[in-house]
């Protein structure tokens, strides 16, 4: 079965600093993880990975983002992956137009991941946004709109208390293509029903996709565990707007490669062959503008 792995990370700890990996829970993935490591893991699994999307892995803020993207381009030329890269930019920065112009010159670049999620007072997350209401800021929204006008994608993840702002953003700035990361982190919602209500509140227009990933936060991934979430996403967004991803190496903390993909395959086994191909492969190609995979 051919798949597009729509969310992977390379951790080049000998080249970049990732402070969030200092968390005790991340102890199992602090060593370098690059293309060769990924290819070795995926080589004999239940799926044939024909395309990959590298998503910004949150190196420390002083990282040269353009140099990092150029490095990913070099890896693509040398190793064949990633097929596409989601980089980082501050959408509220005055020099955003110049930065996007520079990033666009790197072939592998497809869009931006800037964390906007900010838990309520009393809760913290290692890579949370610096300000709680970025999605509502006029300057930030202007940058978000410009990203879409240039044909790029935004990877979005927000906290449960930010749902109204996210809904408003997706309704008012519908021209920007958005991929909702990690199935909206089911683990942060009080129950499946509250998560389901949040999903149902999100606009399901042509520019909104949902990415199933990071279920490792709920423990070992199994078909029974992920099926109700995948079915709900498919019912709301449609079989042409949902994609799957490994989130490796992070989800390797909780599940093996085979466990993860066998769980996914079991969860979508009731779909038609065409629908399975959409969810497993082609939707991610469309969302991230990847050709020939």
Tens-place pLDDT, residues 133-149: 999 999 999 999 999 99
Report cis status (omega within 30 of 0) of the bond before 249: yes
- The residue extents of the domains of the chain are 2-288
What's the topology of domain 2-288? TIM Barrel (3.20.20)
Quick check: 63 pLDDT over 80?
Answer: yes
The mean pLDDT of 31-58, rounded to a whole number, is 95
Non-local (6+) Cβ contacts of 153 within 8 A are 86, 110, 111, 112, 147, 176, 177, 178, 179, 287, 288, 289
How much of the chain exceeds pLDDT 70, in percent? 99
The answer to whether residue 27 scores a pLDDT higher than 70 is: no
């Amino acid at each position: 079965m051919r798949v597009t792995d729509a969310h992977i990370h390379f951790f080049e700890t000998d080249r970049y600093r990732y402070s969030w990996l200092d968390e005790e829970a991340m102890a199992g993935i602090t060593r370098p993880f690059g293309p060769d490591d990924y290819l070795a893991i995926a080589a004999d699994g239940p799926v044939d990975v024909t395309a990959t999307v590298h998503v910004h892995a949150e190196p420390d803020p002083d990282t040269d983002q353009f140099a990092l993207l150029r490095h990913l381009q070099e890896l693509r030329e040398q190793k064949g992956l990633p097929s596409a890269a989601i980089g980082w930019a501050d959408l509220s920065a005055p020099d955003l137009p110049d930065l996007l112009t520079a990033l666009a010159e790197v072939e592998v670049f497809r869009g931006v991941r800037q964390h906007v999620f900010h838990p309520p007072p009393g809760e913290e997350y290692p890579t949370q946004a610096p300000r709680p209401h970025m999605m509502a800021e006029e300057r930030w929204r202007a940058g978000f709109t410009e990203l879409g006008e240039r044909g790029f994608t935004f990877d979005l993840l927000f906290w449960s208390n930010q749902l109204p702002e996210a809904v408003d953003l997706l309704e008012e700035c519908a021209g920007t293509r958005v991929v909702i990361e990690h199935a909206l982190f089911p683990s942060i919602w009080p129950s499946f029903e509250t998560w389901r209500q949040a999903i149902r509140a999100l606009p399901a227009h042509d520019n909104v996709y949902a990415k199933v990933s990071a279920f490792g936060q709920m423990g070992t991934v199994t078909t029974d565990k992920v099926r109700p979430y995948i079915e709900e996403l498919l019912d709301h967004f449609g079989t042409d707007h949902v994609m799957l991803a490994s989130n490796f190496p992070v989800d390797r903390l909780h599940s093996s490669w085979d466990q993860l993909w066998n769980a996914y395959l079991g969860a979508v086994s009731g779909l038609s062959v065409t629908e399975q191909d959409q969810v497993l492969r082609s939707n991610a190609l469309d969302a991230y503008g990847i050709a020939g995979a």
